[in-house]
Amino acid sequence: MERSLARETTLRVALGNIAQQFLRQLDIDLVAYVAQVGPVEADSEKPLDVSEIRQKIFQNDMHVIDQDKVEDLHQLISETKEKGDTLGGIIRLVATGLPAGLGSYVSWDTKLDAKLAAAAVGVNAVGNSGTTNRLLLGILAGSSFASQLIGDASLSKRPMKRVSQPLAKFGAEIALSPAGTLPATVIGQKLHGAEIQLEVASAQVKSAAIFAALEAGSPSTIIEKLPTRNHTEIMLRQFGADITTEADNLTIHVQPGQELLGQEVEVPGDMSSAAFWLTAGRLRESWLLMS
């Protein structure tokens, strides 16, 4: 049930992001934010335009304008969960350039603004997958929409500045928690080419940089601290990307602009997952058969 709900939420967020891109082509811009949760109001009395609202709500994981209410909301939600109860709330949508007459006013669930608000305020959940999160930072950095990545309790303790700082050199705008961890808010925008020297030897960080470089407006050079696994480069070349690695196995050149074409890929088993069981079996005094 939870997995089904997560898939449905991810699909809705993806469709909402696509809809936002389409609406921008019609000079329609919109943003949704949380105005109230239970008895706690987190709205601003001062009228704000879409860009100001977007800037404020992506500074916190509650998508509220009033930063001073974030801690109160977290406490309220925690207390409510402990009681096994639920909370209601109010989500407001602000849109500019929207023609008059769109949407039905018969009920909230059929009104256009309600559906747009539900899509625009959604977040992407990456669970416990560090690879998914770090690669998505590079992919989303060059998008035309804003996204927020949220992980579980374990992933939320892992450092993310090692990814956001290199991506910033391409022009990426990524906001992390004060501790430099998730949640991560990515304000997608046009990226530029860069020459960057990675400070950590990490295939995940390198891959995030490569994905960002593919979205940049000019060529990029990525220099690793130490050689790392080159799965990303091999796979992207197979799909048509122009990525070359120098003889030192440290310097990677990325030429953006190629059209990536779908391929048939056979993914082998993950030996790193089997290694734990193989090691445990080897430590036993008697043989252990595993399949």
Distance of alpha carbon 66 from alpha carbon 89, whole angstroms: 15
Q: What pLDDT sits at residue 87?
A: 77
pTM of the model: 0.58
Per-residue pLDDT, 16? 61
Quick one: what percent of the chain has pLDDT higher than 90?
32
Cα(105)–Cα(66) distance, integer angstroms: 29
Cis amide linkage into residue 183, ω under 30° from 0: yes
pLDDT beyond 50 at 286: yes
Most trustworthy range by pLDDT among 122-126, 218-222, 285-289: 218-222
- State the Cα–Cα distance between residues 83 and 286, nearest whole angstrom: 49
Mean pLDDT score, 78-96: 81
- Asked if residue 122 has pLDDT above 60, the reply is no
pLDDT reported for residue 18: 63
Please name which of 194, 193, 197, 215 lies closest in space to residue 205, comparing C-alpha atoms: 197
Which pLDDT score, from 0 to 100, does residue 51 have?
Answer: 82
Task: Determine the Cα–Cα distance for residues 119 and 107; give it in Å rounded to an integer.
Answer: 18
Mean confidence (pLDDT) of the chain:
81
- Band of residue 2 on the pLDDT scale cut at 50, 70, 90: very low
* CA nearest neighbour of 215 among 150, 137, 123: 137
Rounded average pLDDT over 279-285: 77
Spatial separation of the C-alpha atoms in residues 285 and 281, rounded to whole Å: 9
Bridge-partner residues for 244, per DSSP?
Answer: 253
Q: Could you give the CA distance from residue 32 to residue 40 in angstroms, rounded to a whole number?
A: 18
Write out pLDDT tens, residues 205-247.
Answer: 999 999 999 999 999 999 999 999 999 999 999 999 999 999 9
pLDDT at 230: 94
pLDDT tens-digit map of 3-24: 444 455 455 555 566 666 666 6
Confidence of residue 93 (pLDDT cuts 50, 70, 90): confident
Q: Compare 30 and 256 and report the one with higher pLDDT.
A: 256
Query: What is the pLDDT confidence band of residue 196, given thresholds at 50, 70 and 90?
Result: very high
Higher pLDDT residue, 131 or 288? 131
pLDDT band at 201 (very low <50, low <70, confident <90, very high): very high
Q: Can you give the C-alpha Rg of the chain in angstroms?
A: 22
Least confident of 56-60, 71-75, 226-230: 56-60
Q: Which of 44-53, 75-84, 85-94, 155-164 has the highest mean pLDDT?
A: 155-164
